């Protein structure tokens, strides 16, 4: 229980601070979001790729595990949408909120506190795979066939080039001079606390509305993601830390990216925003259970 509280409470406290600040101060969230997207997250990815001791085998296994989990969750949401005869926009929203966990703003800090630096290395791999797969497929799905524009969209993102640069540093064993690696690490350390503060700000700036759809979609994301990831991980033969990271990252609430993409490319933006908020709040109830299961059974 101490381990679980030590993993969740620091995260919850920083999110709470962000929530309080969001209620008291009129901050420009879009500016903070751009700062994270264009500076801090690229620095975090480059820094981790530069320093990682993670084997290629583990990285490949986590990537494959994420990809299979992503596809299965999307199919389940699609089947449920057809069964309940949802409108086209609501169907797109349910598939998006189910398939897109918040593996950055919430997933990285929870993994760091729960599983340490070795867990964070694996969570970064999950995040990289998430970005590549989601940014190339989801816009195309939402706007019905715009795969080319999805590729163009991905190539404009600094995260894509951060991955390329970090891999080059790692593959060619480049040693950064003049303590530039320390400066990179200092910049990277700002990514996680700002991400949690932004999560609190986003909750503070969204009106809470809860009905059966939001609760059901949230639990499909939270518990469905954990269950599917566990099954997929076991079938792939993942063990110990690799399996824990796959399950933990897959049990995160819906990413704010889901709302941004639905709002931009098509779907029910209002319902998507509500699921983002409700699933994030419910995650602080479900994540302790997931962490307890990971500590007890894996």
Main-chain dihedrals φ then ψ at residue 4, nearest 5 degrees? -65, -45
Cα distance from N-terminal residue to C-terminal residue, the chain: 16
Report the C-alpha gap between 62 and 47 in whole angstroms: 19
Question: Tell me, what's the pLDDT at 52?
Answer: 73
Residue 233 has pLDDT above 90, yes or no: yes
Q: Minimal CA–CA distance to 257: which of 279, 272, 247?
A: 272
Domains along the sequence of the chain with CATH: 2-297 (1.20.1530.20)
What is the per-residue pLDDT across 28-59, written as a single tens digit (0 to 9) for each? 877 887 788 788 888 888 887 788 777 788 89
What is the per-residue pLDDT across 147-158, written as a single tens digit (0 to 9) for each? 666 677 667 777
Question: Tell me, what's the pLDDT at 75?
Answer: 96
Report the C-alpha gap between 221 and 213 in whole angstroms: 12
Question: Tell me, what's the pLDDT at 107?
Answer: 92
Report the C-alpha gap between 297 and 45 in whole angstroms: 30
Are 244 and 280 contacting, i.e. CB atoms less than 8 angstroms apart? Answer: no
Question: Tell me, what's the pLDDT at 3?
Answer: 57
Q: Measuring CA to CA, how many Å separate 228 from each of 153, 250, 251?
A: 29, 8, 9
Average pLDDT taken over every residue of the chain: 87
CA atoms in the 13 A half-sphere facing the CB of 129: 23
Question: Tell me, what's the pLDDT at 70?
Answer: 97
Residue 146 has pLDDT above 60, yes or no: no
Question: Bigger pLDDT: 201 or 246?
Answer: 246
Residue 174 has pLDDT above 60, yes or no: yes
What is the per-residue pLDDT across 249-292, written as a single tens digit (0 to 9) for each? 999 999 888 887 787 678 888 888 889 889 998 999 999 999 99
Residue written as tokens 């909750």?
Answer: 203
Report the C-alpha gap between 264 and 259 in whole angstroms: 8
Report the C-alpha gap between 248 and 103 in whole angstroms: 9
Report the C-alpha gap between 35 and 249 in whole angstroms: 23
Residue 290 corresponds to which tokens in the numbers above? Answer: 């997931």
Band (pLDDT 50/70/90 cuts) for residue 2 is: low
Q: Minimal CA–CA distance to 142: which of 95, 80, 102, 103?
A: 95
Question: Bigger pLDDT: 125 or 37?
Answer: 125
Question: Tell me, what's the pLDDT at 149?
Answer: 65
Taking residue 179's Cβ as centre, other Cβ atoms within 10 Å add up to 10
Residue written as tokens 């970005």?
Answer: 131
Residue 200 has pLDDT above 60, yes or no: yes
């Amino acid at each position: 229980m101490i381990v679980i509280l030590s993993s969740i409470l620091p995260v919850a406290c920083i999110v709470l601070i962000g929530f309080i600040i969001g209620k008291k101060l009129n901050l420009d969230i879009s500016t903070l979001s751009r700062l994270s997207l264009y500076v801090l997250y690229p620095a975090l990815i480059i820094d981790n790729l530069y320093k990682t001791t993670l084997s290629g085998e583990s990285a490949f296994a986590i990537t494959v595990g994420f990809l299979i989990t992503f596809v299965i969750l999307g199919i389940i949401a699609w089947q449920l949408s057809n069964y309940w005869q949802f409108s086209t926009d609501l169907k797109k929203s349910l598939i998006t909120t189910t398939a897109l966990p918040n593996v950055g703003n919430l997933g990285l800090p929870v993994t760091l506190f729960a599983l340490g630096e070795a867990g964070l290395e694996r969570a970064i791999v999950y995040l990289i795979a998430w970005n590549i797969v989601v940014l190339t497929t989801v816009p195309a799905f939402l706007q019905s066939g715009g795969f080319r524009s999805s590729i163009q969209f991905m190539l404009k993102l600094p995260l894509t080039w951060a991955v390329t640069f970090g891999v080059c540093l790692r593959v060619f064993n480049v040693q950064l001079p003049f303590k530039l690696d320390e400066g990179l690490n200092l910049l990277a350390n700002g990514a996680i606390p700002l991400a949690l503060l932004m999560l609190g700000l986003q909750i503070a700036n969204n009106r809470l509305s809860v009905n059966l759809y939001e609760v059901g979609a949230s639990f499909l994301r939270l518990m469905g993601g954990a269950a599917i990831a566990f099954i997929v991980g076991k079938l792939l033969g993942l063990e110990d830390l690799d399996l824990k990271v796959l399950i933990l990252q897959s049990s995160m609430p819906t990413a704010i990216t889901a709302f941004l993409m639905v709002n931009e490319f098509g779907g029910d933006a209002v319902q998507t925003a509500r699921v983002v908020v409700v699933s994030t709040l419910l995650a602080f109830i479900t994540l302790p259970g997931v962490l307890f299961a990971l500590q007890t059974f894996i």
